[in-house]
Amino acid sequence: MRLIVGLAYACHGGQKLFAYPGGGHGMSGLAFVAGIIELVCGFLIAFGLFTRIAAFFASGEMAVAYFMFYVGTVPTLEAKFFPIMNGGELALINCWVFFFIIFYGPGRWSIDALGRKDKSSAAST
Protein backbone atom coordinates (compact mmCIF):
# COMPACT_ATOMS: atom_id res chain seq x y z
CA MET A 1 0.00 0.00 0.00
CA ARG A 2 2.78 2.40 0.95
CA LEU A 3 4.56 1.89 -2.38
CA ILE A 4 1.51 2.48 -4.60
CA VAL A 5 0.13 5.44 -2.64
CA GLY A 6 3.58 7.04 -2.44
CA LEU A 7 4.24 6.70 -6.16
CA ALA A 8 0.77 8.00 -7.05
CA TYR A 9 1.37 10.97 -4.75
CA ALA A 10 4.77 11.62 -6.36
CA CYS A 11 3.06 11.71 -9.78
CA HIS A 12 1.03 14.71 -8.62
CA GLY A 13 4.26 16.48 -7.67
CA GLY A 14 5.88 15.60 -10.98
CA GLN A 15 2.87 16.96 -12.81
CA LYS A 16 3.04 20.26 -10.94
CA LEU A 17 6.82 20.72 -11.27
CA PHE A 18 7.66 19.18 -14.65
CA ALA A 19 4.27 19.00 -16.42
CA TYR A 20 4.82 15.25 -16.62
CA PRO A 21 2.91 12.90 -16.66
CA GLY A 22 -0.11 14.28 -18.44
CA GLY A 23 0.75 17.94 -18.76
CA GLY A 24 0.67 20.61 -16.12
CA HIS A 25 -1.14 23.71 -15.11
CA GLY A 26 -0.28 27.25 -14.02
CA MET A 27 2.21 27.46 -11.20
CA SER A 28 1.86 29.84 -8.32
CA GLY A 29 4.24 29.91 -5.37
CA LEU A 30 1.90 27.67 -3.40
CA ALA A 31 1.68 25.10 -6.20
CA PHE A 32 5.49 25.00 -6.44
CA VAL A 33 5.82 24.25 -2.72
CA ALA A 34 3.04 21.64 -2.96
CA GLY A 35 4.79 20.04 -5.93
CA ILE A 36 8.06 19.73 -4.03
CA ILE A 37 6.30 18.22 -1.00
CA GLU A 38 4.36 15.79 -3.18
CA LEU A 39 7.34 14.67 -5.25
CA VAL A 40 9.88 14.32 -2.43
CA CYS A 41 7.52 12.92 0.22
CA GLY A 42 5.88 10.61 -2.32
CA PHE A 43 9.21 8.97 -3.17
CA LEU A 44 10.30 8.85 0.48
CA ILE A 45 7.04 7.16 1.48
CA ALA A 46 7.10 4.78 -1.47
CA PHE A 47 10.59 3.52 -0.72
CA GLY A 48 10.27 3.72 3.05
CA LEU A 49 12.99 6.26 3.85
CA PHE A 50 12.22 8.72 6.67
CA THR A 51 8.69 7.42 6.24
CA ARG A 52 7.02 8.86 9.33
CA ILE A 53 8.44 12.35 8.77
CA ALA A 54 7.52 12.31 5.08
CA ALA A 55 4.01 11.05 5.91
CA PHE A 56 3.62 13.84 8.46
CA PHE A 57 4.37 16.51 5.85
CA ALA A 58 2.26 14.77 3.19
CA SER A 59 -0.72 14.42 5.53
CA GLY A 60 -0.47 18.07 6.52
CA GLU A 61 -0.24 19.21 2.93
CA MET A 62 -3.33 17.21 2.00
CA ALA A 63 -5.27 18.60 4.98
CA VAL A 64 -4.37 22.15 3.92
CA ALA A 65 -5.32 21.37 0.31
CA TYR A 66 -8.66 19.91 1.39
CA PHE A 67 -9.67 22.88 3.51
CA MET A 68 -8.27 25.57 1.18
CA PHE A 69 -9.35 24.28 -2.20
CA TYR A 70 -12.34 22.04 -1.58
CA VAL A 71 -14.15 23.09 1.59
CA GLY A 72 -13.28 26.77 1.23
CA THR A 73 -14.50 27.18 -2.34
CA VAL A 74 -18.01 25.77 -2.27
CA PRO A 75 -20.96 28.05 -1.51
CA THR A 76 -23.37 25.81 0.44
CA LEU A 77 -22.95 24.28 3.87
CA GLU A 78 -24.11 20.87 2.65
CA ALA A 79 -21.47 20.81 -0.11
CA LYS A 80 -18.79 21.82 2.37
CA PHE A 81 -19.60 18.90 4.67
CA PHE A 82 -19.66 16.03 2.16
CA PRO A 83 -16.42 15.32 0.24
CA ILE A 84 -18.38 13.72 -2.60
CA MET A 85 -20.07 17.07 -3.21
CA ASN A 86 -17.01 19.33 -2.97
CA GLY A 87 -14.65 17.11 -5.03
CA GLY A 88 -12.12 16.59 -2.27
CA GLU A 89 -12.28 12.80 -1.88
CA LEU A 90 -8.73 12.17 -3.07
CA ALA A 91 -7.22 14.85 -0.83
CA LEU A 92 -9.19 13.57 2.15
CA ILE A 93 -8.26 9.92 1.59
CA ASN A 94 -4.59 10.78 1.02
CA CYS A 95 -4.58 12.85 4.20
CA TRP A 96 -5.87 9.96 6.29
CA VAL A 97 -3.72 7.28 4.62
CA PHE A 98 -0.60 9.35 5.32
CA PHE A 99 -1.83 10.00 8.86
CA PHE A 100 -2.15 6.23 9.30
CA ILE A 101 1.40 5.73 7.99
CA ILE A 102 2.72 8.19 10.60
CA PHE A 103 1.61 5.82 13.37
CA TYR A 104 1.95 2.47 11.59
CA GLY A 105 5.42 3.15 10.24
CA PRO A 106 7.15 1.92 7.11
CA GLY A 107 6.77 -1.82 7.64
CA ARG A 108 9.28 -4.61 7.02
CA TRP A 109 9.95 -3.96 3.35
CA SER A 110 11.46 -0.48 3.56
CA ILE A 111 14.80 1.27 3.66
CA ASP A 112 14.03 2.36 7.23
CA ALA A 113 13.71 -1.31 8.27
CA LEU A 114 17.17 -2.12 6.89
CA GLY A 115 18.80 0.25 9.35
CA ARG A 116 16.77 -0.89 12.35
CA LYS A 117 18.80 -2.82 14.91
CA ASP A 118 15.69 -4.40 16.46
CA LYS A 119 14.77 -7.31 14.22
CA SER A 120 11.76 -8.34 16.29
CA SER A 121 9.48 -8.02 13.25
CA ALA A 122 11.47 -10.68 11.41
CA ALA A 123 10.17 -14.24 11.42
CA SER A 124 11.56 -16.35 14.24
CA THR A 125 13.57 -19.44 13.39
The Cα 74–Cα 61 span in angstroms is: 20
Indicate the range of 18-22, 39-43, 121-125 predicted with least confidence. 121-125
Residue 119 has pLDDT above 80, yes or no: no
Q: Give the domain range for residue 85.
A: 2-109
Mean pLDDT (the chain) is 87
Report if residue 119 sits inside a domain: no
Number of domains observed in the structure of the chain? 1
Report if residue 72 sits inside a domain: yes
Report if residue 124 sits inside a domain: no
The Cα 52–Cα 98 span in angstroms is: 9
The predicted-structure confidence for 22-59, as pLDDT tens digits, reads as follows 766 667 888 899 999 999 999 999 999 999 999 999 99
Per-residue pLDDT at 25:
65
Residue 36's contacts (CB-CB under 8 Å, 6 or more residues apart) are 13, 17
Amino acid residing at 84 = I
Report if residue 125 sits inside a domain: no
The predicted-structure confidence for 89-100, as pLDDT tens digits, reads as follows 999 999 999 999
Greatest Cα pair distance in the chain: 61
Per-residue pLDDT at 20:
81
Report if residue 118 sits inside a domain: no
Report if residue 120 sits inside a domain: no
